[in-house]
Amino acid sequence: MRVPLPPQSRVVKRLVPRSFLGRSLLIVLVPLVLVEAVALQIFYGTHLDVVSRRFSSAIAGEIAVTVALLDRYPSPDDQAWILANGWEYFEMTMRLEPGRVRPEHERPPLFAPVQANLAAALQERVRLPFAMDWRSDPLSVVIRVQWGDSILVVDAPRKRLYTGTIYLFVLWLVGSAMLLFAIAAVFMRNQVRGIRRLAAGAEAFGTGRDIGPIKPEGATEVRQAAAAFNLMQARVRRFLAQRTEMLAGVSHDLRTPLTRLRLALAMLPVREDTQRDIADMTEDLEEMDRMIGGYLAFVRGVGEEPAQPADLPLLLEEVAARARRAGADIALEVPEELSVMLRPDGFRRAVTNLVDNARRHGRHVRLAAATAGPHAVEVTVDDDGPGILPARREEVFRPFESGPGGGTGLGLTIALDIVRAHGGDIVLEDSAMGGLRARITLPV
């Protein structure tokens, strides 16, 4: 029994990439990021914190010394000397301003261990009301300490609070992750290419295109799959060849006795009582001959005719003209000019088969051609007959599948074989004329 997925695992499913490449990269990347995050946490949480505390307490201590000196030597001269020393020895500019410390400067950003450490150190060492301003100067922190009625303003350079190694470390983490990811992506892409090629090969072979054996590449399993596919392809091909050969042989061999029979029948003396029978037999023989002709055409259908640039409107005109001569009511709608690479004899036969069907089942036929997007042309054959039920539209393509009033049941099979050999396809649909529409799509 299948248990329905809880909603969150459906969300996970949607987030996980669908392609093999994406998934394998994820498999590489997720543990990597996890490991690095743990490393960063350990480094940041212990080593960096200790360093930052030391830095903070050094600054706080220097400010505390300055405050103590200011307390001890109140004369303006001394005080100026003390403040000047701040720069000299601590790399911090210091000055006294009248006023009161405004506490709104005090709020540090949320995730800010350095700020918190400095605040703690100032509290511990200086023991006077103070405020820190982290915003107004990107290079330094302005610390204001309430000293009597004045404010001791200290510009402490930020570089005294941070250590450069954290950037190096983060850079190393991100850089190594990216490097690993890039290497994995390159290697995995090559692995996936073999699978993709196999899928494309199977698809092409399934639609009857000749792609030849596919090159085995990638991991052993993928190579094995490719080799197995090539073997299967060869077997299927051999089987098909045997089938067509046999059909050709049988048809061909039947023709000779059939011709003999027809001749013998024609030589029979015509008598009143046998005349009807002879006529019937001749008709039957002719039908058999037509059928054999059909089988032979089927066998030859996917012949070795080379593809060449062909004038599609002209070709369709020929088909329509021939149908008209045989008494069909056929309308032709083709563009002025449309040159397509195809095997003219084969393609003419495919369209003729469709037109024959339309004629047989409908009264009016419409043959049309048009470009369908930048990479395809479409040839459609419409009729106003009874059409084919959607459920039957697949089976009529099978050989010898013939409905009421049908022929040998090879027409559509041959047409599809030919069109697929061109890399195209035939689809049966409802026609706007009321009957069936056969739509040939050809890549160009």
Q: Is the dihedral of CA 441, 347, 203, 410 positive or negative?
A: positive
Our CB check for ligand ATP shows the closer of 129 and 409 to be: 409
8 Å CB contact between 402 and 395? no
- Nearest one of 302, 309, 337, 72 to 209, comparing CA atoms: 302
Residue whose Cβ sits closest to Mg ion: 411
Q: How far is the CB of 300 from ligand ATP (least distance, A)?
A: 14
- Nearest one of 377, 361, 371 to 436, comparing CA atoms: 361
Q: Of 208, 387, 411, 435, which lies in the binding site for Mg ion, with binding defined by CB under 5 A?
A: 411
Q: How far is the CB of 409 from Mg ion (least distance, A)?
A: 8
Query: Which does residue 106 bind out of Mg ion, ligand ATP, none, counting CB within 5 to 8 angstroms by kind?
Result: none
For residues 291 and 297, give the distance between their C-alpha atoms in angstroms, rounded to a whole number: 10
8 Å CB contact between 417 and 208? yes
Look up residue 134 and give its DSSP letter.
Answer: -
Contacts for 328 with CB less than 8 Å, ≥ 6 apart = 355, 359, 365
Our CB check for ligand ATP shows the closer of 301 and 435 to be: 435
Query: Which does residue 436 bind out of ligand ATP, Mg ion, none, counting CB within 5 to 8 angstroms by kind?
Result: ligand ATP
For residues 146 and 56, give the distance between their C-alpha atoms in angstroms, rounded to a whole number: 19
Our CB check for ligand ATP shows the closer of 155 and 383 to be: 383
Q: How far is the CB of 193 from ligand ATP (least distance, A)?
A: 40
Which residues of this chain interact with ligand ATP, rule CB under 6 A?
Answer: 294, 353, 356-358, 361, 383, 385-388, 396, 401-403, 406-413, 435-436
Q: How far is the CB of 440 from ligand ATP (least distance, A)?
A: 14
Our CB check for ligand ATP shows the closer of 7 and 405 to be: 405
As given in the structure block, the two tokens for residue 8 are 């969150």
Q: How far is the CB of 284 from ligand ATP (least distance, A)?
A: 16
DSSP of 189-236: HHHHHHHHHHHHHHHHHHTT----PPPP-SSHHHHHHHHHHHHHHHHH
Query: Which does residue 401 bind out of Mg ion, ligand ATP, none, counting CB within 5 to 8 angstroms by kind?
Result: ligand ATP
Q: How far is the CB of 426 from Mg ion (least distance, A)?
A: 13
Compose the 326-365 pattern: x for residues touching Mg ion by CB under 5 A, - for all others. Answer: -------------------------------x--------
- In angstroms, what is the C-alpha Rg of the chain? 44
Site membership for Mg ion, residue 413 (CB under 5 A): no
Judged by the rule CB under 5 A, the positions of this chain that interact with Mg ion are: 357, 411
